[in-house]
Amino acid sequence: MARIVKKAVSKKTPAKKAAKKTAPKTKNVEPKKEAEPIMLQPPRGMKDILPDEQGYWDQVRRVTERLSRDYGFSRIDTPLVEFSNLFNRAVGEGTDIVDKEMYAFATKGGDKVALRPEMTAGIARAYIQHGMSILSKPIKLFSTGPVYRYDRPQEGRYREFYQVNYDAFGEQDPILDAQMIQVAARVVQNLGIKAVQIQVNSIGCPICRKEYKDLLVNYLESKSNKLCQDCKRRLDTNPLRVLDCKEDKCLQVAAAAPQSVDHLCDECRLHFKNLLEYLDELDLPYTINPRLVRGLDYYTKTVFEIWSGSEEGRKNALGGGGRYDGLVKMLGGEPTSAIGFGLGVERLIIEMKRVQAKPYRAPKPKVFLAQLGDLAKKKSLKLFSELEKNGILVAESFGRGSLKSQLRVANKLGVEMTLILGQKEALDKTVIIKNMASGEQETVSVDKLVDLVKKKLKTDNVVTYHDNNHNNG
């Protein structure tokens, strides 16, 4: 009898073998990190400027740009980011801006850069780099935009805030100082802020200021026990800033401190005397403020600030500036006289609201375009474009379905007439003009529509969109 031999069968099936070969090795996998929640707000000290605020911003833009043209300034825009040593050199080591407030960082390529904490240094850098010294003097430049300082946010001073700057290079005559002060006052007054005070002082040139600084430091050291901690530090780095401190005990010390105007050299004294005579001639209301020094190292001779408010009431500093005759040379250019000032846009707007000055009101449309049906909707886009190209400001409500709902929008806007384009009108190449006051309607050819609308608007003394003379300033 044949012997049956049982063949040993492997317990592992082919499927199991394959699974064993392809199965990944188990590792200690870290749990997946949850995504950080999005903060639905900007960083502290920065804010959105919403549509209902833009009327004030538009008014500031219109007034400042118009005056820049009237006084012969040309627009310049410099980068928000510059190499940080530009500000270290120009603004000055030991100033609060450089030591405490500057947004400085290194790029991926290792460059040391900073968000601009003020505009003048970048403008002076551009002046040198692009060889503007060959242009006719004085070279007047206007700029506007955001600046950044990591400081405690306060009313009118955010970590991102906006400035308008007026700068002039190449003229040392004090008549230019007077004109710059006049421009600053004009900006504020044209915005509807009528009560303006001009604070003015002279801090001398590097020659006479050295003697004054020594005298001031000797005085302040004798009163050092009455100074705040910041001002004690400033004795070594920037003693003039002690005069500008807002702490009560420092104000008391500063009140009896030596005054820079009493220690000017002959040239600086004559410059300041001539400036005051020009201001008298302009009937500008100024006050000599011996404690006004401005906080930046590049200032020389004239310094000034523009304050709002009456003599008795609340006073708000809206901006300021002064001469910086040594800045261009300090940055590597030829010796160049210069003067400039900046105004804080947020501070201007706060003051405009306080005195109930009017914001800019854009011209409202007097024509509404309504459409009904798919074909009319397609034709309405081209019709809207034709009206706009001819200077007619038109409102519309594209996407709204019923004619009733569109007419409701037109009534709310208070337009003079509504142009109705329906399916029939689209085929006939006509448009219905509806007088919103009387309810009368007439049908006109598309070819004649623009001229007819213009005629009706002119008859009603309605300003069209492209009338550049229209403003409420």
For position 400, what pLDDT does the model report?
67
Q: 3-state DSSP call for residue 347?
A: helix
- Among residues 290, 287, 293, 273, the alpha carbon closest in space to that of 198 is found at 287
Bridge-based pairing state of the strands 394-396 and 367-371 = parallel
pLDDT in tens, the chain (473 residues): 444 444 444 455 554 555 455 555 556 666 677 788 888 898 999 999 999 999 999 999 999 999 999 999 999 999 999 999 999 888 876 666 777 788 999 999 999 999 999 999 999 999 999 999 999 999 999 999 999 998 888 777 789 999 999 999 999 999 999 999 999 999 999 999 998 999 999 999 988 888 888 898 898 888 888 888 888 888 887 788 888 787 888 888 888 888 999 999 999 999 999 999 999 999 998 999 988 887 667 889 999 999 987 555 567 889 999 999 999 999 999 999 999 999 999 999 999 999 999 999 988 999 999 988 888 888 988 999 999 999 999 998 887 668 888 888 999 999 999 999 998 999 999 999 999 988 899 999 999 999 999 988 886 544 444 444 434 44
Structure letter (DSSP) for residue 341: E
Q: 3-state DSSP call for residue 343?
A: strand
- Among residues 464, 417, 426, the alpha carbon closest in space to that of 445 is found at 426
Distance of CA 404 to the CA centre of its chain: 43
**Domains, the chain, ordered by start:** 51-205+265-354 (3.30.930.10), 213-263 (no CATH), 367-459 (3.40.50.800)
Q: Which helix (H) or strand (E) holds 141?
A: strand 139-148
10 Å Cβ neighbour count for 171?
18
- Among residues 90, 91, 93, 96, the alpha carbon closest in space to that of 230 is found at 96
For position 295, what pLDDT does the model report?
66
Contact (Cβ atoms closer than 8 angstroms) between residue 151 and residue 100? yes
Contact (Cβ atoms closer than 8 angstroms) between residue 339 and residue 168? yes
Angstrom CA distances, 297 to 82, 139, 169, 377, stand at 18, 22, 18, 63
Give pTM, 2 decimals.
Answer: 0.82
Angle, in degrees to the nearest 10, between helices 229-237 and 206-222: 140
- Among residues 189, 182, 177, the alpha carbon closest in space to that of 63 is found at 189
Sequence letter at residue 38: I
For position 460, what pLDDT does the model report?
55
Bridge-based pairing state of the strands 316-323 and 300-308 = antiparallel
For position 348, what pLDDT does the model report?
96
